[in-house]
Amino acid sequence: MSTAAPSFKKLLTEYIQGHIDEQKALQISWNCPYCHGSHAGNLFKKVRSMEMASAADSHAVEVNLMDETGQLFAAIKISKNKTRLPMLWINTGSRM
């Protein structure tokens, strides 16, 4: 009897939830479109919970990362289309 491999969505949510539960850092870096400089920070610094979102695109997995007040801090959208890059949106009203 074979068991099906866990889905990407399940693996992603377990990975993220593990980082949140254990208060592990996830360091990211990006090029800023505003100042044209490079920045780095801990994506999970303010994240206290996550929600799976209903992505408008059924070919994507979307995860919303919520801060300590329950406000949306960041959203990750990963397309199942291998030609698209993952997208990360961070609420610029909050500082990392």
**Residue ranges covered by each domain of the chain:** 8-90
- Supply the mean pLDDT for the chain: 80
Given this model, what pLDDT does residue 12 score?
83
CA R_g for the chain: 15
User: How does pLDDT run across 35-60, given as a tens digit for each residue?
Assistant: 999 999 998 999 999 988 765 656 67
Residue 49 near residue 63, CB atoms below 8 Å = no
CB atoms within 10 A of CB 13: 16
pLDDT value of residue 86: 65
What is the Cα–Cα distance from 26 to 55, expressed in whole angstroms?
Answer: 23
Q: Which two tokens stand for residue 17?
A: 């939830």
What does the pLDDT read at residue 95?
Answer: 46
Which pLDDT belongs to residue 32? 84
Tell me how many degrees the CA angle 24-44-79 measures, rounded to the nearest 5: 110
- In this prediction, residue 94 carries a pLDDT of 45
Q: What is the pLDDT of residue 83?
A: 67
